[in-house]
Amino acid sequence: MMKRYLILALLFVFSMSAYGQSTEPVPVRISKEKANINGAIFYVHKVQPKQTVFSICKAYGVTTEELLNNNSTLKDGLKAGSIIFIPVTKQSIENTAAEAAANVAAADTVSAIDDKADKTEQSPDYKEHKVKWYETLNSIAKKYNVSVEDIVLFNKLSKASVETRQIIKIPLNTAKETEIVPEQKGVISEEDQSRTIVENYVERPMDEADALAKMEHLKSIDHFSERNPVRISIILPFNAQSTTPSSNYLDFYSGALLAVNQMKKDGLNISLNVIDLANHSWIGEIFQGNMLSGSNLVIGPVESRDIPEFANYCKLHKIPFVSPMDHKAEYIVENNRYFFQVPASVQTQLAHLIGNIKVDSHEKLTIMYNASGEEDSYVNNIKGILDNNHTPYNEIKYNILRGREITDSLKRVMSTNVRHKVIIASEDEAFASDAVRNMKVLSLSQVPITLYGSNKIRNYESIDAEFFNDLNMHTSAAYFVDYSSEETVKFLSRYRALFNTEPSPFAFQGYDILTYFLNALMDFGGNFIDYVTYYKMNLLQSNIQFVQIDGGGFVNKGIKEIEYLPDYSISVR
């Protein structure tokens, strides 16, 4: 169970900056992250090089005995990089308050110096203002008590919008800066953040060329800072208080944690809010408690019964909401612009596989399906895709009760002088197995065959996997891990080192989702939603390529293309 406690603790732990080779003692900063373990609250502290038991105890206001009693691993000594749990005490709370006050004072001093410099350099006719990433013309005009029109005219702007870091002039004859309460300096309130998101997410026409140019510009900007990190909320039924917590969702978070730590190393400031859905008998508690307030992104939950309420809440508050696992949640997309459906649907997988088949003059395309009629809807779906693409095809249907006599019939209709592209239009294991076997027999008779089939066929134990290579099998999948890729090897190494176990598909999914959205946020800031349709990523287990549905939300059309090659390798694109 200690491993599970470690993983739960890591729900609140992030990697910290590495220190140099200085011989000076490393100061101990009180952790902002806490964990609830068996009803007791602990600080979660990551030990830095050259920190000592004495310096840690002094900073947190605990005794050496209290520290040792709660961390059995310390019997082997204090190790840099290890995680230790420190009980919250009255002294540690006072130390935290003193540290926060010192940080505020330092920030106010810097702000005062900047304000003084601004005043000495400003023209008497106007005040210069550098646009921050979260600001719009509306918010700037309100800040200085001027109209948007005044700013546009004074700066001779061609449009009523501004770019981050753009210098604009505020006319002093009408400007009067709104008073800022001292403790709020440099901090964006949750109300202002929500308002900014609403303003930034107003739909505006943008063609691909303009979008790509804007994207390149946005990538050069730092959208988040230590004082204003990107805020991610993850909602999953961890069931952490149980003796049998959910290993699947802990795995999901474990993968997500690796992505978070990697993005922190890349310079993105992240604040992670993790909610165990199992701790709430009524999900309204999460909304009433404002647990999602200020989020730049919400990921989860996973069960179809819970998703609609969270999707509606996020729509109301203009928060991008990610459905991470449930294929059945796609119906929500139509009326919710802030909804992202990550799992690619079965229909998307099928359309990708069948829609990409090309037939030249030396090839014939054949659909092979069960004559019993039990899968007619599946067969008609495939035919519909081919008809829409004007792709010519032949049909072969038979009943597997005919046994091996069908092989002779197939030999008569499938010649050796053309390449036959054959679609196994069935997900029934008995028929699919028989059809693949028949194609294998024909290939031994020198009939050139390229096979196409559902991803489900790959997992049927009744089919020899080597047949797929022999028949150059093509399929499409929402999820597939290429264990030979360099990125996968790196991920496995990091995952095994941290968790001492193998990653499950849930771990890969957590890593992929966080990697995609954190990169989008880092590159484009809070209004990343305007650019995701141009932002594609091929990840470890998934490919992500969002398409917006008629002004509604976004569905993932990214698919892994899998091809079995004659040399018994697998190509993944």
Task: Kindly state whether residues 341 and 352 are assigned to the same domain.
Answer: no
Domain of residue 29, CATH code: 3.10.350.10
**Domain annotation covers residue 249:** yes
Q: Domain for residue 473, yes or no?
A: yes
- Is there a single domain that holds both residue 327 and residue 367? no
Q: Give the pTM.
A: 0.64
Angle at 318 between CA 313 and CA 540, to 5 degrees: 90
Q: What is the total count of domains within the chain?
A: 3
The domain boundary, picked from 77, 97, 117, lies at: 97
Do 323 and 341 fall into the same domain? yes
Q: For residue 323, is it within any domain?
A: yes
**Domain end point (choices 457, 477, 497):** 477
Pairing outcome for strands 339-341 and 554-556: parallel
Distance, CA of 256 to CA of 276 (rounded, Å): 15
CATH number at residue 364: 3.40.50
Please answer whether residues 397 and 369 qualify as being in contact, where contact means their C-beta atoms are separated by less than 8 angstroms: yes
Judge if 359 and 473 occupy the same domain.
yes
pLDDT tens for the chain, 573 residues: list them: 455 455 555 554 443 333 333 345 578 887 766 665 666 777 778 788 888 888 888 888 888 888 888 887 787 778 776 778 888 876 666 666 565 455 444 444 443 444 444 444 444 678 888 887 556 777 788 778 888 878 888 888 876 677 767 888 888 765 544 433 333 333 333 334 333 333 333 334 466 777 888 888 888 888 999 899 999 999 998 888 888 888 899 999 999 999 999 999 999 999 999 999 888 888 888 988 889 989 999 998 888 888 999 999 999 999 999 999 887 788 888 889 999 999 988 888 999 999 899 999 899 999 999 988 888 889 999 999 999 889 999 998 888 876 567 877 888 888 888 899 999 999 888 899 988 988 898 888 888 999 999 988 888 888 888 888 899 999 999 999 888 888 998 999 999 888 888 899 999 999 999 999 999 999 999 889 989 999 999 999 999 999 998 879 999 999 999 998 888 788 888
How many C-beta atoms surround the C-beta of residue 127 within 10 A? 17
Q: Is residue 59 part of a domain?
A: yes
> Does any domain span residue 134?
no
Q: Which domain holds residue 429?
A: 348-477
Q: 47, 81, 97: which is the final residue of a domain? A: 97
Q: What is the DSSP string of 131-184?
A: PPTT--HHHHHHHHT--HHHHHHHHT-SSS---TT-EEEEETTT--PPP--GGG
421, 452 contact by CB (below 8 A): yes
Say which CATH number the domain at 557 has. 3.40.50.2300
Residue at 204 is within a domain: no
36, 82: one domain: yes
Cα pseudo-dihedral 62, 66, 72, 74, rounded to 10: 40
Residues 252 and 334 in one domain: yes
**Domain check: are 457 and 393 in the same one?**
yes
Residues 498 and 472 in one domain: no
Residue 219 lies in a domain: no
Kindly state whether residue 71 falls inside one of the protein's structural domains: yes
Tokens 């200690």 appear where? 2
Do residues 340 and 438 share a domain?
Answer: no
If asked whether residues 320 and 387 sit together in one domain, one would say no
Q: Are residues 20 and 32 in the same domain?
A: yes
Cα(447)–Cα(363) distance, integer angstroms: 12
Do 373 and 447 belong together in one domain? Answer: yes
